Structures are given as structure tokens and as C-alpha cells.
A and B are shown apart, each in its own frame.
Chain A
């Protein structure tokens, strides 16, 4: 037992900060009362009224993604240095915290997943709503059939000027915003159409049926992804928009920003 205790001590010794992922109030208070390294709470909502708090836009099922988001958020908000060593306490299997892991923030390659939500042109809530609808679409498909979809979020004026219409825009002169339940149903119905959805900074659905025409020169995405992902990556390189893609072939949800693949999720896990 002492060998195990030593091992845990080795992991938790001399760290610069403790990251608690969705802790209970009593857990958090215990850490706060102690005179230890600063505590950062990472959760979907700040239910423990933590002073240092990073909001998760969605409950990442993959622990690595969750930790990555938390640490990038912590660095971005100045809670920790970029060279800091932190201990993360999170839940891997069940609801309660069951895992303690040490992460060196410096060795962590920044994927920009935090910036994707917080520093994008579009509101974080809008991006979350679009991601939600994409995940739902990926999970259920359209009438049981796997579909693909491409949402371009933010910087809509420029995106509109770098794309052309494939057909009549069903959202013309409408005032619909992502996040309304009825609109989500509409988006799912329209996902059978070809082309991209364009969504403005504040979440207004500007257009469907858009054929994106960015210059794809120099866009580098992982091999094996198709034209839809290529178009998504290229439009985010050309404009300040971000793109969220549901792949028709492998059913994964991917987010692009600045021409780079930032986030990859399996809708089945949510």
C-alpha cells in the first residue's frame, strides 16, 4: 500500500495548480481551505461558485479532450503559466472523481480548442448550439440514414462573398437563430440539401445551399478527408469563420478554425 501511496504522492508532489473537473461542493471546499496550490474548477457550469473557473462548452466524453480544454482555458485566462505542471482530478468512468493525472502544460501541444469557442468571432453559445445540433444529427442521422453537413459559423458577410448560391435560399428574409428547438429540426431537415449552412456571429441562419469558393491553396488537412472537409478548412483559412463538419463517411464531427482541424468528436459518445 505504501508503494501505491508513494506513487500517488509522486504524481501530486510539487505541482503548480490543481484542476478539478466537475467537483462536488465538498471536494472543492476541502481544496480551497487548504493552503496548497491554486485550484481551478473545470465544469459545464460553475455550481460550486469557484473563483477560478473554466466553462466547458460541452461535456467532452473523452478525458483527454476535457483536460486539453481545461488547461488551454486555464492558460488563456491566466490561472497558470504555460510551463506549469498541474494535477487534474476528473472522472473517467462514472460521475464521481476517480482519476488523478499529472500534466505538464508546457509539453502539451495547444490545439486551440479553447480559442475555438471563446476567441472566435461568433458567440460561444452559438458555436455550442451548432455543435449540439451537429452531434445530434450525427447521432440519429436523417431518418436513420447517415448524412453529412457543413456549418460555417461567424464572419457571415465575408463567407457570403466567398461563396455562391446553389439554389434558392430557404432562409431568405427569415429570422431564425440556431438554438431554438424548432430551428434545429429545420436544420436537420435541410441537411439533406447539398452545400453549406452559413450562420452569422449572433447565430442567425443566413443561408443554406451555399457552395463555398475559398482559395484552397496551402490548406493542409489530414489525408483521407473529403471535399466537404477541404472546403470547410479552406473557408476558415480565408475568413475569420469557423466550420463545423459532420462527415458522411465516418460520422465524426470535426471543427476547423484558421484552416486547421481543431476538434474531432464522435457523436455516438454524447
Chain B
């Protein structure tokens, strides 16, 4: 009798645990496959090259992995966790189902938040490099502030999104962001009005080159030979005088070119 009861119990236990077990195994396999697929996909769309040289990639590589590997691992881990949670729930291991339900609901948000942080770090770094390169191509390498500003702005926005995803209250941070943007736009615009005007005119002058080095020109009644045109100013000189004229004045007053 006792043996029969025991075997029935075992059978029942097996039957009950078979479904969760199947879910677990299935989840693990799917997780593994999706992880591999995600890695292949990211390599195929050239993500590896896109993130090359960013700080995040470098720190990831110092830890013996890479951005691609990290994201793939994250995806795998997420599915594993979901499978384990689902299996445990089906098996009824936890008494209070509520906590588990909360946990499984919370999991996607955590995943998205982590993903957003990674993307934010990479994009911020990339934006910094791109800004720096662009400034270098117009010979403005000394402006170190701008790329950093761009980078931390992206970081900040990424952090905001991640926190919002986690459901934390970000009202104060949003106000801060608004104030910061306002300060950048208005105060920056006020303080750098002339510089910005000169730069935008200078970029046009550099791109189209209506006059070049060696041309004889007249700006504001000053006549001379162009020695240098950069983003901010045009330098030209007559026999005994050297003029340095902000580029927006070139626009305002026009240029006479002597042939």
C-alpha cells in the first residue's frame, strides 16, 4: 500500500512538474537561440563597427566582452529569467503569487531601461566624436566644450528615459532639463550672438569661397590682399596695414573683389 501511494505521489509530482519543466527547457533553448540570433543580427547590421572606439565598447572590452556581446547576453538573460519565473509560477513554488507577478511585469521595464542606458552611452560617445570631427574639419579643434556638452546631454536624456521606464518620478529632472536647454539656447545665443553670426557666415565663406587667399578685396572701405579665411574672421592686408574683419561684417557690407 505504502509503496503504491508513494509511487502515485511521485507520478503526480512528475506530472505536475513536467509542464513547468517543459516551459523552463523551452525558455532556455529559445533564450540561447534568440541570443545567438541577436548577436548575428547586430554583427550583420554593422553594429560592431558603429560602436568601435567608444568608451563603452572599450570598457566592455576591458571586461572581456563587447557591446554586441553584452546586448546579446542581456537578451538571453532576459528570456532565461522570464522562463525561470514562468516555470516557478506554474509549479506554484511561491506561495504569494502576487510578488512574482509584480516581478515578471517589472522585468521588461528593467530590460528596456538597461538597454536604453547602453544605447545612451554609445550614442553619447558617438555624438561627441562626430561633433569633434566636424569641428576639426572646419579647424575648430580648440572648442572642447561643445563635444562634451553634446555627450552629456545625450547621457542625461538617456538617463531620463531609463528612469521613466522604471516608473520613477522624473518631474524634477525634466524641469532641470528644460532649464538647462533654456539656458543653453537663450544665454548662449545672447552671449555668443556676434560669434555665432561670424561662424555661420564663416562656414558659408569656407564652403563656397567667394574669395580666396591671394585675392584682392575691399570690405568696409578697407582694401587689401586676403591672407587667411577662418571660421571667425577674414584677415587681409594692404602694404602697411593688416585688417582682421569678423565674417558677419563681410555679409553685412558685402565684398568688392578686384580683378
Contact = CB atoms under 8 A, between A and B. Distances in A.
Interface of A: 155-161, 172-173, 175, 177, 198, 200-202, 204, 206
Among B212, B215, B227, B228, which residue has the most Cβ atoms of chain A within 10 A? B227
28 contacts: A155-B227, A156-B227, A157-B215, A157-B225, A157-B226, A157-B227, A157-B236, A157-B237, A158-B225, A158-B227, A159-B214, A160-B213, A161-B214, A161-B216, A161-B225, A172-B212, A173-B209, A175-B137, A175-B138, A175-B206, A177-B139, A198-B213, A200-B227, A202-B230, A204-B139, A204-B213, A206-B212, A206-B213
Given A175-B137, A200-B228, A156 B213 contact: yes
Interface residues of B, number: 17
Contacts of B215: 157
Contacts, number: 44
A144 B230 CA distance: 37
A65 to B, nearest CB: 31
Contacts of B138: 175
Contacts of A198: 213
Interface string B172-212: 00000000000000000000000000000000001001001
A175 B205 CA distance: 12
Nearest to B225: A157
Given A156-B227, A158-B225, A200 B209 contact: no
A202 B215 CA distance: 17
A161 B215 CA distance: 8
B253 to A, nearest CB: 20
Contacts of A155: 227
A178 to B, nearest CB: 12
- Pairs A-B, 5 closest by C-beta atoms: A160-B214, A157-B225, A157-B227, A206-B213, A156-B213
Contacts of B237: 157
Contacts of B206: 175
B160 to A, nearest CB: 37
A156 B214 contact: yes
A45 B61 CA distance: 34
Given A157-B215, A173-B212, A206-B212, 10 more contacts: A156-B227, A160-B214, A161-B214, A161-B216, A173-B209, A175-B138, A177-B139, A200-B227, A204-B139, A204-B228
Contacts of B214: 156-157, 159-161, 206
B139 A175 contact: yes
Contacts of B230: 202
A173 B138 CA distance: 13
Given A200-B227, A200-B228, A201-B227, A157 B137 contact: no
A141 to B, nearest CB: 30
B203 to A, nearest CB: 11
A36 to B, nearest CB: 40
Contacts of A173: 209, 212
Contacts of B227: 155-158, 200-201
Nearest to B138: A175
Nearest to A159: B214
Contacts of B226: 157
A214 to B, nearest CB: 14
Among A155, A173, A200, which residue has the most Cβ atoms of chain B within 10 A? A200
A177 B237 CA distance: 22
A98 to B, nearest CB: 39
Contacts of A161: 214, 216, 225
Contacts of B236: 157
B209 A202 contact: no
Among A155, A157, A159, A202, which residue has the most Cβ atoms of chain B within 10 A? A157
A206 B215 CA distance: 12
A156 B212 CA distance: 10
B28 to A, nearest CB: 50
A170 B139 CA distance: 20
Interface in B135-155: 137-139
Contacts of A160: 213-214
Interface string B113-140: 0000000000000000000000001110
Interface string B72-110: 000000000000000000000000000000000000000
Nearest to B226: A157
A169 to B, nearest CB: 9
Contacts of B137: 175
A196 B111 CA distance: 62
A153 B95 CA distance: 83
A180 to B, nearest CB: 9
